[in-house]
């Protein structure tokens, strides 16, 4: 299992914003509304939204997610120590952990939503926002830094029009910085999914991004 998020060992949570380019980066994750809640607004516009077909679309999406995760929750909910493996299995299926699913887990396991959120935000392996099909990690360790890691990151940001930690709107790429990934001899290094690209120069980046873009 991936360990606790750096700097969070003594406290449960730091919020990460949406990470999706073009979406709000509000730090107050717990206050973010689900798509259905956003569609409902203050409730007074509900009838109008139903009339225009917006709420059923959001509700259908949500119910599709619930259909996928319910059997998984049912299988785990009464087992001791099930919360983390349950979260891992659901994330494997959905790619991330939507808030409405976390609420469903809390209900089914008869535990507080705060407890579920505490686990999800504590461990780096869990993600509460959709992530790109291709995860690009740029090493910012010392060896990579002195050999031009920042220039490689800058070129990736330019090529993808993203900031560190963001995901492209088409969910094709997520860009992240990481500490040393243990390939210092190849510095500067990036990984794309499970593949390592080393001894990079900024001019190598368009070709690498293009390769993964074309494989989508
Ligand atoms: S510092 Fe980048 S791989 Fe070690």
What tokens does 211 get? 């390769």
Give the distance (Å) from ligand 1 centre to CA of residue 55.
48
Mean pLDDT of 142-159: 97
Q: What is the pTM of this model?
A: 0.66
Residue whose Cα lies nearest atom 1 of ligand 1: it is 141
- Whether 143 lines ligand 1, by a CB cut-off of 6 Å, is yes
The domain segmentation of the chain, as residue ranges, is 29-122, 134-214
Residue 196 has pLDDT above 90, yes or no: yes
CATH architecture of the domain formed by 134-214: 3-Layer(aba) Sandwich (3.40)
174: which residues sit within 8 A by CB, 6+ positions away?
19, 131, 132, 134, 135, 136, 166, 167, 168
- For the Cβ of 184 lying below 6 angstroms from any atom of ligand 1, the answer is yes
**Is residue 85 over pLDDT 80?**
yes
Q: How confident is the model at residue 60, as a pLDDT?
A: 60
Question: pLDDT per residue over 103-119, tens digit each?
Answer: 999 999 999 999 999 99
For the Cβ of 119 lying below 6 angstroms from any atom of ligand 1, the answer is: no
pLDDT of residue 9: 37
Around 120, how many Cα atoms within 13 Å sit in the side-chain half-sphere?
26
The number of angstroms, rounded, from the C-alpha of 194 to the middle of its chain's C-alpha atoms is: 17
pLDDT score of 192 more than 70? yes
Cβ neighbours, 10 Å, residue 97: 21
Residue 41: what pLDDT?
36
Using the mean position of ligand 1's atoms as its centre, give its distance from the Cα of residue 180 in Å.
4
Give the DSSP letter string of 77-116. Answer: TTSTT-HHHHHHHHHHHHSS--HHHHHHHHHHHT--HHHH
Q: Burial, 57: exposed, middle or buried (Cβ in 10 Å; 0-12, 13-18, 19+)?
A: middle
Confidence of residue 52 (pLDDT cuts 50, 70, 90): very low
């Amino acid at each position: 299992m991936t360990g606790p998020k750096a700097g969070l060992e003594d406290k449960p949570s730091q919020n990460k914003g949406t990470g999706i380019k073009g979406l709000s980066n509000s730090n107050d994750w717990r206050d973010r509304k689900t798509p259905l809640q956003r569609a409902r607004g203050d409730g007074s516009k509900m009838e109008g939204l139903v009339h225009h077909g917006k709420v059923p679309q959001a509700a259908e999406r949500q119910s599709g997610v619930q259909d996928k995760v319910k059997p998984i929750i049912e299988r785990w909910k009464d087992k001791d120590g099930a919360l983390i493996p349950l979260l891992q299995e659901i994330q494997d299926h959905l790619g991330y952990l939507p808030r409405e699913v976390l609420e469903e887990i809390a209900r089914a396991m008869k535990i507080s939503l705060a407890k579920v959120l505490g686990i999800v935000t504590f461990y780096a392996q869990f993600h509460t926002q959709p992530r790109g099909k291709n995860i690009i990690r740029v090493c910012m360790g010392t060896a990579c830094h002195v050999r031009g890691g920042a220039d490689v990151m800058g070129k990736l940001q330019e090529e993808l029009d993203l900031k560190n930690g963001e995901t492209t709107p088409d969910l094709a790429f997520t860009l992240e910085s990481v500490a040393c990934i243990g390939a210092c001899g190849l510095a500067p290094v990036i990984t794309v999914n499970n593949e390592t690209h080393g001894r990079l120069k900024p001019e190598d980046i368009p070709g690498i991004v293009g390769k993964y873009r074309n494989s989508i």
